[in-house]
């Protein structure tokens, strides 16, 4: 094996953009490209994905492709079993079959948040841990469970999923499933922005603008971020008690807010959880905005290693 020499393409398929990057086995991003997600359904999304892959392959030789995509993924088939409206017409997409046929490269597909968690397990704060609960706070709320560095998918591919936990609050927008009393409806990035609009009586999008208002002293903005952090902390206290992970890793786009979100989260967790769970380490993710791409590429690398063993 020539670890560090091999290169992989990581693909991140999301509701607003499709991104792809050439990544080394140690997680270094060599080149990345992106395009807006077409609204015309799964065939158009896969066409865009292939175009980005072809663009990268014109300059780079790669050994395989890893894809992180929203929804519940049948990993054996590389197919989307279920997806919410975040990507209209995405359900049923034959991601692996289609991409392997059109690129002649091995393709690995997993849920986008599972891919990020895998990246943390390989080269981030999850490395060497006996068990990890990864939490993604972004456009949605996602999660993943890992034991001894390996993702746990469960019987149906949803193990670690946190979006649909029932919470004692109602969001100003719906969860991906439509409910307003699920964690995602209250604590995702768009949910925080909608909550600000509801309290302040003025719509401010996206969440980064609410964060800017908080930094310039807007008390409503600070209260919205603090409340979301506290709710996350209380919910995670229950989840941690059920699964008892060695460490909880907080990632995703909204987690980039930093201590203004994470400090109330950690404080609420420590108050809510029973001992010894209350002492569980809670750490920010190591991989930043490239985490979905790097994680997806490392999924491809891991699959290749399994096959060659």
The site for Zn ion (CB under 5 A) is made up of: 164, 175, 177, 179, 182
Q: Name the minimum Å distance from CB 216 to Zn ion.
A: 33
> Based on CB atoms, which residue is closest to Zn ion, 171 or 264?
171
Nearest 10 degrees: CA dihedral of 174, 176, 177, 180?
A: -20
Q: Name the minimum Å distance from CB 176 to Zn ion.
A: 6
* Of 270, 288, 291, residue with least CA distance to 279: 270
> Based on CB atoms, which residue is closest to Zn ion, 176 or 229?
176
> Based on CB atoms, which residue is closest to Zn ion, 195 or 290?
195
290: which residues sit within 8 A by CB, 6+ positions away? 21, 29, 32
> Based on CB atoms, which residue is closest to Zn ion, 170 or 212?
170
Tokens of 112: 């986008």
* Strand locations in the chain (E): 7-13, 17-24, 29-36, 65-69, 72-74, 79-82, 107-111, 131-137, 141-147, 150-152, 247-251, 281-284
* 57: phi then psi, degrees, rounded to nearest 5: -70, -15
Q: Name the minimum Å distance from CB 177 to Zn ion.
A: 3
DSSP for 8-61 reads EEEEEE-SSEEEEEEEETT--EEEEEEEEPPSS-HHHHHHHHHHHHHHHHTT--
What sign has the CA pseudo-torsion 242, 245, 251, 257? positive
Q: Strands 17-24 and 29-36: what pairing? A: antiparallel
> Based on CB atoms, which residue is closest to Zn ion, 129 or 182?
182
> Based on CB atoms, which residue is closest to Zn ion, 33 or 180?
180
Residues paired with residue 66 on neighbouring β-strands, in sequence order = 10, 108
Q: Name the minimum Å distance from CB 60 to Zn ion.
A: 39
> Based on CB atoms, which residue is closest to Zn ion, 7 or 182?
182
Q: Name the minimum Å distance from CB 178 to Zn ion.
A: 7
Which residue is nearest to Zn ion, using beta carbons?
175
Q: Name the minimum Å distance from CB 213 to Zn ion.
A: 28
Contact indicator for 73, 92 with CB cutoff of 8 Å: no
Q: Name the minimum Å distance from CB 167 to Zn ion.
A: 10
């Amino acid at each position: 094996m020539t670890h560090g020499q091999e290169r992989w393409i990581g693909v991140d398929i999301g509701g607003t953009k499709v991104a792809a990057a050439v990544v080394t086995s140690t997680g270094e991003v060599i080149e990345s490209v992106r395009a807006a997600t077409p609204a015309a359904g799964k065939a158009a999304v896969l066409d865009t994905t292939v175009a980005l892959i072809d663009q990268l392959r014109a300059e780079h030789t790669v050994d395989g492709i890893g894809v992180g995509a929203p929804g519940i993924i049948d990993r054996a088939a590389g197919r989307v079993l279920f997806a919410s409206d975040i990507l209209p017409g995405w359900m049923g997409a034959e991601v692996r079959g289609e991409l392997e046929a059109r690129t002649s490269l091995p393709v690995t597909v997993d849920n986008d948040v599972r891919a990020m968690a895998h990246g943390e397990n390989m080269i981030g704060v999850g490395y060497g841990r006996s068990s990890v609960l990864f939490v993604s706070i972004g456009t949605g709320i996602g999660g993943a469970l890992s034991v001894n560095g390996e993702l746990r998918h469960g019987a149906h591919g949803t193990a670690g999923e946190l979006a649909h936990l029932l919470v004692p609050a109602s969001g100003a927008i719906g969860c991906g499933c439509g409910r307003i009393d699920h964690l995602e409806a209250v604590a995702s990035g768009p949910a925080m922005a909608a909550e600000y609009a509801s309290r302040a009586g003025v719509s401010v999008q996206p969440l980064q603008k609410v964060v800017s208002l908080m930094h310039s002293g807007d008390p409503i903005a600070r209260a919205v971020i603090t409340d979301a952090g506290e709710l996350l902390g209380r919910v995670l206290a229950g989840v941690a008690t059920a699964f008892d992970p060695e460490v909880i890793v907080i990632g995703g786009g909204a987690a980039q807010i930093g201590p203004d979100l994470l400090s109330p989260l950690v404080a609420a967790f420590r108050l809510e959880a029973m001992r010894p769970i209350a002492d569980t380490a809670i750490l920010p993710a190591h991989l930043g905005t490239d985490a979905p791409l790097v994680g997806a590429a490392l999924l491809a690398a891991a699959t290749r290693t399994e096959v060659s063993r």
